[in-house]
Amino acid sequence: MSDAEYVPPKVWKWDQSNGGAFASTNRPTAGATHDAVLPRGKHKFQLHSLATPNGQKVSIMLEELLAAGHDAEYDAWLINIGKGDQFGSGFVEVNPNSKIPAMWDYSGAEPIALFESGSILVHLAEKFGAFYPKDPAKRAQVMNWLMWQMGSAPFVGGGFGHFYAYAPVKLEYPINRYAMETKRQLDVLDKQLAKNKFIAGEDYSIADIAIFPWYGGMVLNRSYNAGEFLDVGIYTNVIRWAKEIDAREPVKRGRCVNTAWGPEDEMLAERHSAADIDRVLAIRKERGTI
């Protein structure tokens, strides 16, 4: 690949070799590539996910619900996107878009298929009446910021993260373009958090749960090893907020779920009870890696 100006062909054709680090996980068509029945555990919520920022939103929410005393026990099953698990027939049945996270809710008369992390958060918040204010004006603010995250984060992950960390070559134009947008978004949050304890006001909500894994990860330098490059230290209000949320025990627990990297004894591919997370957390706390 050269730095010469790209001249688009009249008709674009997919070339898998141009996909970079995630070439094997992307394709220009939808649908299943193989038959694979999703496993099902004993709990009413069946999460199929991976501990990416989008995946962490749902596992954090479930752990927050459990910590608050709600009947939200769940099984969490690993979807290894590097191996193409998201293209299995069972996963495509619950999420035709083949992206994590996806979840089955078996608590009612008929099972409910859920996909898109924001949709799952709203479903759980409404079901349990938690982390989602009843007041219409306050609820609107939570939804505003939840939708902001859903629309903005692709510029951070698929844009900045891809070109800065994963693209086969470093190209100045896209890195500059998406670094600018990432910093603009961080500034939006910083100004909002200068006048609010949490994202949508004074109460912790699904807006915080959705935004933290992405933007909290950025300012805590967990994302793309880009903290210095993005000069994240200037976003003092985001850092204050991120540290407060990061210290919450349910957040620590939720971040463990469906991890498939790091030392083997610190990974947690599946979660079926609180004891599964307890084991991994104890190891991480002893080593100072949490």
pLDDT tens-place string over residues 137-166 = 999 999 999 999 999 999 999 999 999 999
Supply the pLDDT for residue 1: 45
pLDDT tens-place string over residues 230-242 = 999 999 999 999 9
Check whether 16 has a pLDDT greater than 80: no
Token pair recorded at residue 15: 């070339």
**18-22, 30-34, 201-205: least confidently modelled range:** 18-22
Supply the pLDDT for residue 253: 98
How much is the mean pLDDT over the chain?
Answer: 95
CB atoms within 10 A of CB 142: 25
Token pair recorded at residue 193: 């958090």
Domains delineated in the chain: 45-128 (3.40.30.10), 136-251 (1.20.1050.10)
Percentage with pLDDT > 70 across the chain:
96
CB atoms within 10 A of CB 2: 6
pLDDT tens-place string over residues 167-213 = 999 999 999 999 999 999 999 999 999 999 999 999 999 999 999 99
Check whether 284 has a pLDDT greater than 90: yes
Among 224, 272, 286, 282, residue whose Cα is nearest residue 59: 272
Among 123, 143, 122, 152, residue whose Cα is nearest residue 53: 152
CA angle 236, 59, 67 (to 5 degrees): 85
pLDDT band at 21 (very low <50, low <70, confident <90, very high): low
Are 159 and 94 in contact, with CB atoms under 8 Å apart?
no
pLDDT tens-place string over residues 68-115 = 999 999 999 999 999 999 999 999 999 999 999 999 999 999 999 999
Check whether 24 has a pLDDT greater than 90: no
Supply the pLDDT for residue 91: 98
**Residues making up the chain, counted from first to last:** 290
Check whether 2 has a pLDDT greater than 60: no
CA–CA dist 45, 128 (Å, integer):
13
Rounded to 10 deg, the angle between the 117-128 and 53-67 helix axes is: 10
> What secondary structure does DSSP assign to the chain, as a single string?
--SSPP---SS----GGGSGGGGGG--S--S-SB--PPP--SSSEEEEE-SSHHHHHHHHHHHHHHHTT----EEEEE--GGGTGGGBHHHHHH-TT--S-EEEE-SSSS-EEEESHHHHHHHHHHHHT-SS-SSHHHHHHHHHHHHHHHHHHHIIIIIIIIIIIISSS--HHHHHHHHHHHHHHHHHHHHHHTS-SBTTBSS--HHHHHHIIIIIHHHTT-STT-TTTTTGGG-HHHHHHHHHHHT-HHHHHHHHTTB-SSSGGG-BS-BSSHHHHHHHHHHHHHHT--
124 exposure class (CB count in 10 Å sphere: 0-12, 13-18, 19+): buried
